[in-house]
Amino acid sequence: MELPLLLSPLLSLASHPIWFLVCLLLVLVLRSQRRGRWRPGDCPVDLSGKTAIVTGANTGIGLHIAQDLARRRARVILACRSEERGRRAEREIRCCTGNGQVHFRLLDTSSMRSVRAFAQRVREEEQRLHILVNNAAASGLLPAVTAEGLELTIATNYLGPFLLTNLLLDLVKKSPAARIINVSSMNHRRGEVNLRQMRGEDTGTARNDQLYNNTKLMNVLFTHELAAQLRHTDVTVNAVHPGVVMTEIMRNYGLLLRIIFNLIGIPFFKSAKEGAVSPIYCSVSQEMEGVSGKYIDSDCSVSLPSPSAQDHHLATKLWEVSSSLTGLERKGLGKGVMGD
């Protein structure tokens, strides 16, 4: 039997009104199930007098995180690599929240020079830093080496946030009950740590999505090690999975893959606003007060990360290599000082 004859009954069924209504009902049920148990609007926490930084805050999850913090009357710094989009986000958030203490600052996490310049300006302008959300990330980038000799995806998603956090840690420590949130992903479970890749070596056979997965594992390992070093302070640090979210993070993939992703995403994936819920939960909820070194799932529950993400030796080794590659050791900001 020819293929068109086989497909004909299926096409007739798919065009039937009852089939359409069943599919529509299924989509609505799936969308309703994407909501977690915690909702930002039900949380009364006020952030007046507190300062927050959100990286990648001009779009997607980062934009909604920044909007929520601004609605809670925090002073919010939007750390973005595009001045045009950053300024637009600044105006949008000020307009929709009525908070005039929302400020754009230029930051490209793929450049350690940019990270240092941003951190220096923050240290000059701010006295405290109560919330730091390391949200900026990129996926789908082809393996490449930056001008500073670092693999591009790893620099953007991991080494930049690693350096930024360390450079701002003195401000964070001065702030009561400060929180650091590292946005990771469930994709960390498919990641691995190849230290040679951090300099762009051994990437010839690595797929661009594998490099992304690797950085998400690094985010969790970094969280684990930093929490251990901060255990005698008032600072908490946690990694969070926002869920599978329809954002611009797919912009570097091919057109066909983006179309498929978006078609599947309509019923199954979270919107950027929904994806921002778990990072907001880590940033402001009373339930997360004093909780540190954890991996928070997209439904705002504490979850065990992958076995590799719980490897203490690997976390320590990654910290040491990261300190060397970003110049923290040369600046006297290595593990010994951080553990004081």
Active-site residue list:
212
Give the three-class secondary structure for 102: strand
Q: How far apart are CA 272 and CA 187, in angstroms?
A: 18
C-alpha pair distances (Å), 72 with each of 54, 97, 189, 325: 14, 9, 34, 37
CA-nearest of 329, 331, 328 to 162 is: 328
Cα separation of 25 and 90, whole Å? 38
- Please give the C-alpha separations between residue 104 and each of 62, 101, 155, in angstroms, as whole numbers: 13, 10, 22
Q: Which tokens go with 105?
A: 């600052």
SS3 76: strand
Please check whether residue 154 is in contact with residue 218, taking contact to mean a CB–CB distance below 8 angstroms.
yes
Q: Which two tokens stand for residue 156?
A: 């953007």
Burial of 182 (0-12, 13-18, 19+ CB in 10 A): buried
Q: Find, among 294, 277, 93, 321, the residue nearest to 180 by Cα.
A: 294
Residue 218, both tokens: 């690094």
- Burial (0-12, 13-18, 19+ Cβ within 10 Å), 295: buried
